[in-house]
Structure 1
Amino acid sequence: MRTEDLLAAIATGLWRWDNAAGRVTLDSEAARLLGLPAAPVELTEAAVRSRFHPVDFAEINGIVQLALAEKTLAEARLRIVDERGRVQRIVRSRSRPRIVDGGFELVGTLQEVPEPQPGTSAAHTPITGDWRRSREAFLLDAGRGLAEARSTAEVLRVAAGLSMPGFMPDGLAVFGIEGDRLSVIGHHGHHGDDERPFVAMTLETDYPAAEVIRTGRAIYLPTPEEYSRRYPGTWPLAARFRRTSWAFLPLVNAGRTIGAWMAAFAQPVAFTPDERSVLTTVARMLAQALARAGMQEEQQELALGLQRSMMPTVQPDIPGMTVAARYVPTGGGLTVGGDWYDMIPLPSGRIALVIGDVQGHDVRAAGLMGQLRIALRAYASEGHHPDAVLSRASRFLAGINETELRGHGEDQRFATCLYIEVDPATGLLDIARAGHPDPAIRMSDGTVLVRPTAGGLPLGIVPDADYPTTRLVLEPGETMMVCTDGLIETGGHDLETGRERLRDIIEAHQPGGDGESLERLADALVQAVHGPSSHHTTGPLADRREDDIAVLLLCREAAGCGVGTGGLFAPQPIRRTVLSVAQAEPERIAEARRQVRDVLHDWADPDQVDSAVLMVSEMVTNVLLHTDGEALLVAEITGERGARRIRVDVADSSDELPHRRSPGELASSGRGLMLLELLAGSWGVDPRGDGKSTWFELYEDAGDAAGPVSPESGPAESGPAA
Structure 2
Amino acid sequence: MSSAREHLPGPDLRQRTEGLVNRLVPRGSRILVVLVVAAAALGLAIGLFPDYVPLVSLLVPLVLSSLVLGPRQLPWFVVFVLFVLALTVLRQPPPTPRIVTTVVIIFFLGLVVMMSSFRRSRLGVAGLQGEQMFVDLRDRILRQGGIPDLPTGWYAAAELRSAGGTPFAGDFVVASRVGERLEVAVVDVSGKGQGAGTRALLLSGAIGGLLSALPPSEFLPAANTFLLGQDWDEGFATAIHLSLDLTTGRYDIRSAGHPPAAVRHAGSGRWEVIESEGPVLGLIDGADFAAVSGQMRHGDALLLYTDGMVETRNRDIALGIDRMLGQAERLLRGEFEGGAKRLVESLGSRNDDRALLLVHRR
Report the TM-score, using the length of structure 2 for normalisation: 0.66
1:317 aligned residue? 150
Contact 2:237-2:280 within 8 A present in 1 as well: yes
SS at match of 2:98: helix
Distance in 1 (alpha carbons) for counterparts of 2:159 and 2:108: 38
Q: Which has the higher contact order (CA 8 A, sep 6+)?
A: 2
Q: 1:462–1:316: structure 2 CA closer, same or farther, 3 Å change rule?
A: same
The amino acid across from 1:276 in the alignment is I
Q: Are 1:460 and 2:282 an aligned pair? A: yes
Q: Are 1:419 and 2:241 an aligned pair? A: yes
Distance in 2 (alpha carbons) for counterparts of 1:275 and 1:203: 27
Structure 2 residues without counterparts, runs of 5 or longer: 1-26, 83-91, 121-125
- Distance apart, 1:556 and its partner CA: 1.0
Q: Are 1:368 and 2:199 an aligned pair? A: no
Q: Are 1:527 and 2:353 an aligned pair? A: no
Distance in 1 (alpha carbons) for counterparts of 2:103 and 2:301: 61
- Distance apart, 1:320 and its partner CA: 0.9
Write the mapping of 1:88-103 to structure 2, written as runs, cut at 5 A.
none
Structure 1 residues without counterparts, runs of 5 or longer: 1-177, 184-200, 213-217, 231-242, 262-268, 405-409, 531-537, 539-543, 558-722
Cα deviations by residue, 1:285-305 (Å, 9 ceiling, x for unpaired): 76659969x999767544432
The amino acid across from 1:342 in the alignment is V
Write the mapping of 1:120-199 to structure 2, written as runs, cut at 5 A.
179-181=28-30
Aligned length: 299
- Distance apart, 1:470 and its partner CA: 0.9
SS at match of 1:457: coil
Q: Are 1:503 and 2:325 an aligned pair? A: yes
Q: Report % sequence identity.
A: 24
Q: CA RMSD in A?
A: 4.2
1:710 aligned residue? none
Distance in 2 (alpha carbons) for counterparts of 1:313 and 1:270: 65
The amino acid across from 1:273 in the alignment is T
- Distance apart, 1:314 and its partner CA: 1.5
1:392 aligned residue? 222
SS at match of 1:318: coil
- Distance apart, 1:416 and its partner CA: 1.6
Q: Are 1:274 and 2:97 an aligned pair? A: yes
Contact 1:395-1:460 within 8 A present in 2 as well: yes
Distance in 1 (alpha carbons) for counterparts of 2:166 and 2:332: 35
Contact 2:331-2:343 within 8 A present in 1 as well: no
Contact 2:344-2:355 within 8 A present in 1 as well: no
Write the mapping of 1:226-375 to structure 2, written as runs, cut at 5 A.
226-227=48-49, 244-247=52-55, 248-250=57-59, 251=62, 256=75, 257=77, 272-280=95-103, 283=106, 301-311=132-142, 312-330=145-163, 335-347=167-179, 349-360=180-191, 361=196, 363-375=198-210
Cα deviations by residue, 1:94-134 (Å, 9 ceiling, x for unpaired): xxxxxxxxxxxxxxxxxxxxxxxxxxxxxxxxxxxxxxxxx
Q: Is the radius of gyration larger for structure 1 or structure 2?
A: 1
Distance in 1 (alpha carbons) for counterparts of 2:36 and 2:137: 38
Which structure's residues are more often helix, by fraction? 2
Q: 1:204–1:282: structure 2 CA closer, same or farther, 3 Å change rule?
A: closer
SS at match of 1:370: helix
2:87 aligned residue? none
The amino acid across from 2:358 in the alignment is L
- In the alignment, which of 255, 267, 271 is matched to residue 449 of structure 1? 271
The amino acid across from 1:352 in the alignment is E
Distance in 2 (alpha carbons) for counterparts of 1:480 and 1:358: 22
Which structure's residues are more often strand, by fraction? 1
- In the alignment, which of 508, 518, 521 is matched to residue 337 of structure 2? 518
Report the TM-score, using the length of structure 1 for normalisation: 0.36
Cα deviations by residue, 1:345-391 (Å, 9 ceiling, x for unpaired): 224x2211221123341534532343233223321xxxx2x333323
Distance in 2 (alpha carbons) for counterparts of 1:370 and 1:377: 11
2:22 aligned residue? none
Contact 2:183-2:212 within 8 A present in 1 as well: no
